[in-house]
Chains A and B, each alone.
Chain A
C-alpha cells in the first residue's frame, strides 16, 4: 500500500540480493566463536548458584594449582569504579552497578551472577578449574516478585539505591529501596474525563520475564597487548558503545580500546550491554595472551538481560458512542538486579496509539533477584500494549462497537499530544488500521474449527514504538572500476549493509550491486551509535545519503576539470555529470578517469541531528483453541505496519514477520520459570519454549508507506513495533473463541485451561 504521490525510485523499493548473503548461507561468515588466535587461552566463569547472597570468601588456590591454568580473576582484580555515573550513549550509567554486574563485588543478586573466571590452555581445563574455585556464601532471602519487592519490609538488593522521582512527588525518606524510580505523567483532568465516560473498565495484568532468544550466545576474545592497547573481538550491536563500556570498566581512555565487531547472530536489544570483555581483558593482561570467553545458552538465560516481567493496572473511560474520555495506568517493571528497566518508555507508549484528552501514567522501576534487564525490541511497549489493547477490546464488546472503527475513531494523528508531552508529526496509525480493514484476512470469514473440541476466534490490536535517530558515520570511496566502497559502523543485524548501500546507490544513480558495504571496527570509521531503536536504515541511511551528496558535488567538479569548464556549469544528475553544450559523462566512465583529474574521491556523511516520527502497526489474528487442553494454534496472522518508505521490502517484511513470531512466543509459552529459591528452571531452549516453524503460519505482511518527513527518502524504522500487538491480538482472539479474558502472559495451555474451567 503506497501513498499516491510516492516518488519514482530506481533502487529503493527493489529487492537485490544482500551483500553478506553468500558468506552467511555458506558458513563463511566469521562469528565471535569462530575466532582462533595464536597462543589463545580459553576462559570459564564461576557463577552464583544463589539468587541472593553475600560473598564471604573466594578461594582460588586449588584452581590456580591445576596444570594448564594460566590466570584466575575475581572482582578484587578489576579496577574500582567508586561512585560515578558515565554517559554511555543511551543515558548515564551507574558504573558501580555495571562493574558489579560484570563480576560480583560483595553480593550476588541473581543466580548465574559471575563471581570469578579462569583462563587455561583449553576450555576443558578452564571448566575443571572453575569447579575447583570455592566460594563461601551467606545466603539471603530472594525477592522474585515485583510487588513483593516494593513492600517496605522487602529484603533490599542494593544499599545504594534510593527512589528517584521523575514527575512524581519526591520521597521524603532517605533510605535504601528496591524502587529505583517513580515516574508520573499527567495530561488533562482524570476526574473530568472519567465523569464524561459511559463505561469505565479497570483491569490488572501480569507479564512474565522473557528473553530475546538470539541464536548466538555472547562471546568475546580479548588481547591486552604489551603496548597497553586492548583489542576486543566480539558480537555486539554497537562496537562504539562496547568500546566505551569496556574502557570505562577497565578505566582506560577509549582510544586504548579497539572493538572489532564480528558477525552477529541476533541481538534484539540484548547485545548492547557488555558482560565478557572486561573479564577477558584482565585475564589477558595477566597472561599476556589472547583470551576467549564464551557463554553457554544457560549463561545467556540466567545472566544476560531479558525484558522485565510486569504488573499493570489500567483503567479506561469510554462514551457509549466509542470515544475514549480518560485513561489511567499504573505500571511496575522488574528491573532485575540493578535499576534500569524500560518502564519510562512503557509509560510513554501505553496510550500513544490514541488521542486521549485526560490521562495519567504512573511507573515504577523495581529491583528483584533476577538478571539485570535490558532492551528487547520496543522495550516496555509490548507489556503495556497487552493491557491497553485488551481493555479496548473489552470496551468494544460491552458497547457493541467494531474494534477497527473504534481504533479509527480514537487514533492518534498528526498533532495529537502524547501523555508525556510531545505532539506527533505525520504518522500512520490510521493507515495501518485501514490496511487491516481492507485486507483479505479481515474480509474473509473466520475458519471453521477442526473438531467439536476446538473453537476459533479472531482478534486485532495495534502498537506504537518511537524509533530513534542518534549518530552515525559513513565513508564512501569511488573505485576506478566504477563502483563505490562504503564503510559504516553499524553492525548488521537485519540486512542493513544492503539497505544503507541502496540509499547511497539511489542518491548516486548507480546499481545497489555496485556498492560494496563493509562494517568497520572502531578505528575504521567515525563514531556510530548502536544498532538499536530501529535507527540504522534511518540514521546511517541519512549519513550514506550525505556521503553520496558529497560524492556528487566532488564528481561534478572533477567533470568540470575534465572538460575544462567552470565548476558551476556542471551538474550531477541521473547517475552522471552533465555540462555545457550537451556534455555528459556517466558515473562509471568518470570513475575510470579520476586518476587523471585529481586522484581519489571520498565522500563522508554523518548524522545525529534528526529524530524519527514514530512507527505504528495493526495486527489481525485467527486462533483455534483446544477446549479440552487449553492449547492455542495460530491459524492465520496479518500485520499492517507503517514503514515510511520501504527501502528493501523483503527485509521490511522479514522484520515484521520476525517481530510477530517473537510476539507469539511471548503471548503463548515463553517465560522465565523460577522456583522459590530464585533458580530459573527452564534455562534451555528445550524448556524455554520459543515458537518453532511448526507453531506459526506464514505471516502475511502489508507494508503501509506514510513517509517520515525527517528522512530524505521517508524511511521509518521497522524493527521493533511488530512485537508490540501480538499478545493483545491473540488474547482478543482467544476471547472471541472461548469467551475468557486472559490477563496473564504467557497464555500457556495450563493457564488458559484453568481460566476456561473457572468460567
Chain B
C-alpha cells in the first residue's frame, strides 16, 4: 500500500475543512470495509485519509418527530440491534444482517455503503424503500437529497468536493405498514447481490388494499433504482399474489442489468420479477403484523 496521511477530526467542521483543503485527494474512512480493500488493490491512492468515526453527528442513532436519524458512520450491528428499527424499519435490519459476516457488520456502516455507491449495495434499496433522505454537510448550506437520487453511476454520487454524508433521515412509519429487503445470491451468505429488492407497503385499515408502496431494485442498473411507476401503480390495488406478480413483471421491464461473473443479464431480469413478487408479499405480511417465513439467504 502507498504512503498516505491520516487524520481523525473530532468536529464536523474540522472534517469539512480538511476535506475541502484536500483538493479531491482525500478519502473518508468509516468502517473501511470497502476503502481499505480499494487502497490495498491500488484502485484508490488518496494522499489523505480522514477517519470520521470520531464525529458525534455521524454516530447518532435516534428517533424524533422527524423520524429516524441514522448517522453515516453508525455500524450495521447497531442498526439491527435496535428493536424499534427491527420492528418499524425492518428492511434496514434485513439488509444490515446480510452485509458480510459478524466482523464486517461490526465495522461497516449504511452511510459507507451508500457513499461507495456500488450498484449492488445491499442497504441502498432498503433505504430507498423506506423513503430515506441523505443529509449532506459541506462548506456551503446543508442540503438533503432523496437516497434514490444520491448515486449517479457505479462508484459515483452527488457529493461535491468538500461535502460529506452526515446522516440518513427516514420519515416516521405509518400505521399498517411493513417492509422487507432480500437478495438473491448463489450461496446463502457472504456474497454480493445478483439482484436485491427492497419494498415498503402501507395497507388500508382493512389490511387488504395497498394504500402506498415503494419498491427499490439493486444490481440491475448502473445505480440502485427506485421503481417509481411500479410503486405508484400498486396504490389502490388488492394486496394479492396476482398484484405482486404483476408488479414483478412490471419491474422486469425497467431494469438494464449486465452480464458478469455474478449472473447474466437475462437471469437478473428474471430474478427481478421473482424477488419483487416475494418481497412485496413479505412486506405485506409484516404490514398485517404476521411473521414471515424468511431465512437470510433462502430466497
A residues adjacent to B (C-beta < 8 A): 124, 127-128, 131, 450-451, 626, 628-629, 631, 633, 668-669, 673, 681-682, 686-687, 689, 691-692, 694-695, 748-750, 753-754
Contact = CB atoms under 8 A, between A and B. Distances in A.
A631 B274 CA distance: 12
Which interface residue of A631, A633, A687, A754 has the most chain B CB atoms within 10 A?
A631
Contact of B186 (A124, A127, A131, A689): A689
Interface string B39-59: 000100000000000000000
A687 B1 contact: no
A355 to B, nearest CB: 39
B186 A748 contact: yes
Interface string B254-294: 00000011111001001100100000000000000000010
A384 B42 CA distance: 41
Interface residues of B, number: 26
A5 to B, nearest CB: 45
B188 A127 contact: no
Which interface residue of A626, A673, A748, A750 has the most chain B CB atoms within 10 A?
A750
Contacts of B274: 628-629
B39 to A, nearest CB: 11
18 contacts: A124-B2, A127-B1, A131-B42, A628-B274, A633-B298, A669-B187, A673-B261, A682-B261, A686-B190, A686-B191, A687-B262, A689-B191, A692-B187, A694-B190, A749-B184, A749-B263, A750-B264, A754-B267
Contact of B184 (A629, A673, A682): A629
A212 B163 CA distance: 46
Which interface residue of A451, A687, A694, A748 has the most chain B CB atoms within 10 A?
A694
A687 B185 CA distance: 11
Contact of B188 (A694, A748, A754): A694
Contacts of A694: 187-190, 297
Interface of B: 1-3, 42, 184, 186-192, 194, 260-264, 267, 270-271, 274, 293, 297-299
A669 B3 CA distance: 38
Given A629-B271, A629-B299, A631-B184, A750 B189 contact: no
Nearest to B194: A749
A131 B2 CA distance: 11
Nearest to A125: B3
Given A686-B191, A689-B191, 6 more contacts: A124-B2, A127-B1, A633-B298, A686-B190, A695-B188, A749-B267
Contact of A749 (B3, B186, B192, B293): B186
Contacts of A127: 1
Contact of B270 (A668, A686, A753): A753
A474 B80 CA distance: 56
A452 to B, nearest CB: 11
A754 to B, nearest CB: 8
A124 B1 contact: yes
A89 to B, nearest CB: 37
Contacts of B264: 750
B40 to A, nearest CB: 9
A297 to B, nearest CB: 11
Which interface residue of A628, A673, A681, A695 has the most chain B CB atoms within 10 A?
A628
A661 to B, nearest CB: 12
A695 B187 contact: yes
Nearest to A665: B187
B186 A686 contact: no
Contacts of B261: 673, 681-682, 687
B217 to A, nearest CB: 16
A687 B187 CA distance: 10
A124 B1 CA distance: 5
Contact of A124 (B3, B194, B298): B3
Contacts of A748: 186
B4 to A, nearest CB: 11
A689 B270 CA distance: 22
B260 A128 contact: no
Nearest to B188: A694
B187 A626 contact: no
B3 A692 contact: no
Contact of B267 (A450, A669, A750): A750
A497 to B, nearest CB: 31
Contacts of A131: 42
Contacts of A668: 186
B105 to A, nearest CB: 15
A114 B264 CA distance: 32
A733 B260 CA distance: 28
B192 A631 contact: no
B188 A686 contact: no
A131 B192 CA distance: 30
Which interface residue of B42, B186, B188, B194 has the most chain A CB atoms within 10 A?
B186
